[in-house]
Structure 1
Amino acid sequence: MAEILRHPGAAEAPESPTLPQNIEAEAALLGALMLDNRLVEDVQLKLRSDHFFEPLHGRIYDAILRMTDRNMVANPVTLRPLFDADEAMKEVGGPSYLAQLTGSGAAIIGARDFAQQIYDLALLRSLVSVGREMVESALDTSEDVLPLEQIERAETELYKVAEQGGGEGKVKAFAEATRLALETAEKALNSGGHLSGITTGLDSVNAKIGGMHKSDLMILAGRPGMGKTSLATNIAFSAAQRYLRDIEDGIEPAKSAGAATAFFSLEMSADQLATRVLAEQSGISSENLRMGKISQQEFRNLARAAAELQALPLYIDDTPGLTIAGLRARARRLKRQKGIGFIVIDYLQLLQGSGKGSNDNRVQEISEISRGLKQLAKELDCPVLALSQLSRAVEQREDKRPQLSDLRESGSIEQDADMVWFVFREDYYVMAKEPKRPVEGDDTKVWEAHEMWQRDVERVYGLAELIVAKQRHGATGKVRLKFDARVTKFSDLADENYLPEMHG
């Protein structure tokens, strides 16, 4: 009977040794740490107690960390009282086991190597665990089989292993958080003020928001025809260009005011977006580009602009009908393979939710998408700029400037976003209100009405506003910009009050 009782354990026994482990390295490292407490500083940044295969070793490591953290000596004598009642310690001979661990003084020399190996083996075990779960869920057909969802879940878990050394979340001590805050402030100082995040390419916008910050979700919204995609393309191009220039100037990637950029275009194809960027950079209208109405000189300008853009770290994904989970999986892959540091999505309402009941409740689906985008920004530690539609309520008002209540289909977009921007061009509405064109013989009122309209057009033509309606980091307000509709390019507006004085 005893043999039968022991049998299940015997069946499980071979499983543990098959997992990647090195108990001797763990014992040697603990011995080295107790012999020389200064080594703790070298290993504690990377190694956690759950990286140890043997749970007892993990507890001893935690105890050493706690003692040294309180500026107390951690050795077999001072640690002994903490393990008098430890059952696992009793099984290996009691607290005298601590003294055994310090038996080999030679371990001090290889302490860092032991720590690295323990960490690497913990990573491999996490990988085994993810693989086992993948196999089990793939073999389980008792519930609805959703292979793509399983793939996306597996990709999430693998990303966690790659980024964090296991599936556990990272906890930042306040000391580390303040260090990061200081680095951000230093970056703003070195950039000449204003810019602590990634550049938008527009000085006036950078001055207002301080650049685009890591883990921020920014929503750029506007009615059709306002130039949302144009502005997003301008910003994506500027961030990628600045990154390239900074790297060429020998600036470390972490200190660059630019970023390798991923542009998820759910509305336009990659070649349409590329045409826009080429139009902006070569100064040739995108319409003329598409129709081939360009001169030889313009074509040479185009070829030069195209050559300059070859090395640009701007990656376009034009897969239609992406789910939020699919987008996050692709973004993770781009982060891993291309080191992207900025993501643009055009546009939010074209993304799909997980599919569970999404047809019944569109508001719920949009909530899931906006929450997923905020999680993506935090997970990849980079800014995410998502474009969004606005409801038609704008059109019913006399003042067509958008408000937060106009965000379409869900209040959660406003709630999840760190910043909400609206792009507004008054000239778009003024141009649409053209009165009857006067012809010879028309009365004075017709002529006057048209003249007034022309004056209005002149007043607002080529002007745009970026309205910062929400900003967690600072004040709201608006930034006036110039918009060149011919090449769909936004640029800083020269303020007439600050024009240089003209001397005769």
Structure 2
Amino acid sequence: MARTSERERSPRKVDAREVLGRVPPHAEDAEKALLGAILVDDKALPLVQDLCTTEDFYIEAHRAIFEAMVDLSGRGVTIDAVTLAETLKQRGQFERIGGAAYLDQLIDVVPVSAHVEEHASLIREKAIVRRLILACSQVVTSAFEDYGDLDSFLDGSEQTIFEISRQRHRTETAHIRRTVKQVFTELDALSQSSKEVTGVTTGFARLDSITAGLQPSDLVIIAGRPSVGKTSFVLNLLTNAAGAGKTPVALFSLEMSNPQVVRRILASEAGIPAGKLRTAHGLSQDDWTRLFMAADRVNKFEMYLDDSPMLTVAQLRGKVRRLKLQHGIGAVAIDYLQLMRPVRSYDSREREIAEISRNLKALAKELEIPVLALSQLSRDVEKRQDKRPVLADLRESGAIEQDADIVMFLHDPNPTQVDRTHRQVELVIAKHRAGPTGTVPLVFSGEYTRFSSATDAAGEVGETAGFAPPDDGAF
């Protein structure tokens, strides 16, 4: 090949903004080695196309060369110095990349196409760091200028950085035999285990058998008429998941304060009437013992509470992202959906609820965790003789029904039943995108704010068997 001038041998770097006067991180040697390996053996290109892209290269000439290689491969043309040079000439890039001399240099860098995957991974790693630097510099610039609404600004900044962090993990296209092997490995493990729940356990055997647990990326709506026990039910779900399931969970309570939430949890765990914990009058020595034992157990839960009032969807996303990054949160619940605020005002409440619902589903999918949201029912259900809820009863927006993967209704089929301490309640699974619907019979012990399966003996309510003595400093 003809040699070119010294100027042509020094390809120009991308004008990637130098932040704080420093050159952004890059792997020039890895870029050269990767391109040289493909020139030596074009079978190396398919090995790296899923690991890095044209945009991941820092050197402008390397971007042009890699893009031309991908073009040749796509047209079924063998990649070598001749075909590559011709393609670059047709694009008017041949002299700009350093000409024939630079292609010769790339071939001389590596004698064989070894380690191409390691080189591609390094190139991508440096590209991700550069994107992070650029994103942070843009956040700083915007912060000094007119950033607009603070919540939207914070949410956008966090989302940008979170998306960059997710770029580290790429889904690999695999031959089916690999997935078959993976499935058989999982089936073998399941066959040797009594565990039948693949998601987050709810603590209710019948519900878990229908859903296999609360699944990642699912938006779960729990709705019901007033005083049917929606908050108590979701608290039971979360404490069951955090306790027996060992899953970190979070509750965003827009209606009750954190102390009120904890009082309900302690009443349920200790088997003490919730009314006693409002004043603490009439607590016996046995009650105090139960409370200490319950507190010791609850303290071990990986459970996070947030009682911020009038929470916006942008604020919620930011908080949950941080919980996911810092604590590996596995499930989130919001009490309740209609108390949340949209990022901006709309001309109708229905559109506001639609935006909130859509964002909750997007959050579940983004973080790959189940998101539970309590919801009110419309007043239409009160006008009917048959009070059993249906999907059309979801208040203020049909979008809730569309966005939800699971819709569950808590229904009291006999509101006039004499025994109000242990009410027979139905959990109606009206929508289940990935499986069957059905009804789960439950018993609601309102005095203790506890739900149990209808098959459980009533005498089990308030039972503390199996609790260990409280540790010192339980509070």
Same fold (TM over 0.5): yes
Alpha-carbon distance in structure 2 between the residues aligned to 1:243 and 1:68:
50
The Cα shift of 1:51 comes to 1.8
The Cα shift of 1:68 comes to 9.1
Alpha-carbon distance in structure 2 between the residues aligned to 1:74 and 1:307:
67
Change in 2 beyond 3 A, CA 1:345/1:34:
farther
Change in 2 beyond 3 A, CA 1:34/1:346:
farther
Of 351, 370, 374 in structure 1, the residue corresponding to residue 361 of structure 2 is: 374
Q: What residue in structure 1 maps to residue 32 of structure 2?
A: 27
Contact 1:188 1:196 in 2 (8 A): no
**Tell me, which stretches of 5 or more residues in structure 2 are unaligned?**
1-11, 458-475
- 2:474 equivalent to 1:486: no
Contact 2:222 2:375 in 1 (8 A): yes
CA deviations over 1:430-484 (Å, ceiling 9, x no partner): 15xxxxxxxxxxxxxxxxxxxxxx5xx59x9521111111111122221111222
Q: State the SS of the aligned residue for 1:285.
A: coil
Alpha-carbon distance in structure 1 between the residues aligned to 2:258 and 2:185:
34
Q: What residue in structure 2 maps to residue 420 of structure 1?
A: 407
CA deviations over 1:241-300 (Å, ceiling 9, x no partner): 2343xxxxxxxxxxxxxx311111111111211222222222112212232232212212
**Tell me, which stretches of 5 or more residues in structure 1 are unaligned?**
1-9, 245-258, 432-453, 497-504
Matches within 5 A, 1:68-107: 83=88, 85-94=90-99, 97-105=102-110
CA deviations over 1:358-415 (Å, ceiling 9, x no partner): 3x32111101100000110111111111110111222222221111111111111111
Q: What residue in structure 1 maps to residue 461 of structure 2?
A: none
Change in 2 beyond 3 A, CA 1:278/1:72:
farther
1:336 aligned partner, one-letter code: L
Of 277, 292, 310 in structure 2, the residue corresponding to residue 289 of structure 1 is: 277
Q: State the SS of the aligned residue for 1:320.
A: coil
Matches within 5 A, 1:383-462: 383-427=370-414, 429-430=415-416, 454=418, 462=423
Of 112, 126, 130 in structure 1, the residue corresponding to residue 135 of structure 2 is: 130
The Cα shift of 1:134 comes to 2.2
1:375 aligned partner, one-letter code: A
Alpha-carbon distance in structure 2 between the residues aligned to 1:190 and 1:315:
33
- 2:321 equivalent to 1:316: no
Q: What residue in structure 1 maps to residue 166 of structure 2?
A: 163
Alpha-carbon distance in structure 1 between the residues aligned to 2:24 and 2:162:
20
Change in 2 beyond 3 A, CA 1:13/1:238:
closer
Alpha-carbon distance in structure 1 between the residues aligned to 2:350 and 2:172:
34
Q: What residue in structure 1 maps to residue 465 of structure 2?
A: none
The Cα shift of 1:487 comes to 1.3
Alpha-carbon distance in structure 2 between the residues aligned to 1:235 and 1:270:
17
The Cα shift of 1:89 comes to 3.9
CA deviations over 1:198-224 (Å, ceiling 9, x no partner): 211111011122221111111100111
Matches within 5 A, 1:56-455: 56-58=61-63, 60-61=65-66, 83=88, 85-94=90-99, 97-105=102-110, 114-141=119-146, 145-165=148-168, 173=173, 179=179, 182=183, 186=187, 192=194, 194-244=196-246, 259-292=247-280, 293-355=282-344, 357-358=345-346, 360-427=347-414, 429-430=415-416, 454=418
- In terms of mean alpha carbon deviation, does 331-340 or 82-91 score higher? 82-91
CA deviations over 1:305-326 (Å, ceiling 9, x no partner): 2112222111111111110011
The Cα RMSD (Å) is 3.7
The Cα shift of 1:112 comes to 5.8
Alpha-carbon distance in structure 2 between the residues aligned to 1:230 and 1:56:
62
Alpha-carbon distance in structure 1 between the residues aligned to 2:330 and 2:79:
42
Flag the structure with higher helix content.
Answer: 1
1:151 aligned partner, one-letter code: L
Q: State the SS of the aligned residue for 2:234.
A: helix
Contact 2:310 2:340 in 1 (8 A): yes
Contact 1:56 1:89 in 2 (8 A): no
Q: State the SS of the aligned residue for 1:279.
A: helix
CA deviations over 1:338-366 (Å, ceiling 9, x no partner): 111211111000100012x33x3211110
Change in 2 beyond 3 A, CA 1:89/1:218:
farther
Q: State the SS of the aligned residue for 1:19.
A: coil
Matches within 5 A, 1:40-51: 46-51=51-56
Contact 2:216 2:364 in 1 (8 A): yes
The Cα shift of 1:332 comes to 0.5
Contact 1:29 1:107 in 2 (8 A): no
- In terms of mean alpha carbon deviation, does 76-85 or 483-492 score higher? 76-85
1:195 aligned partner, one-letter code: V
With normalisation by structure 2, the TM-score equals 0.80
Contact 1:83 1:95 in 2 (8 A): no
- In terms of mean alpha carbon deviation, does 207-216 or 61-70 score higher? 61-70
Alpha-carbon distance in structure 2 between the residues aligned to 1:397 and 1:191:
47
Alpha-carbon distance in structure 2 between the residues aligned to 1:158 and 1:63:
31
Change in 2 beyond 3 A, CA 1:14/1:233:
closer
Contact 2:430 2:437 in 1 (8 A): yes
- 2:432 equivalent to 1:466: no
Change in 2 beyond 3 A, CA 1:44/1:318:
farther
Aligned residues: 438
Change in 2 beyond 3 A, CA 1:67/1:295:
farther
With normalisation by structure 1, the TM-score equals 0.76
Q: State the SS of the aligned residue for 1:486.
A: helix
1:274 aligned partner, one-letter code: V
Alpha-carbon distance in structure 2 between the residues aligned to 1:277 and 1:184:
39
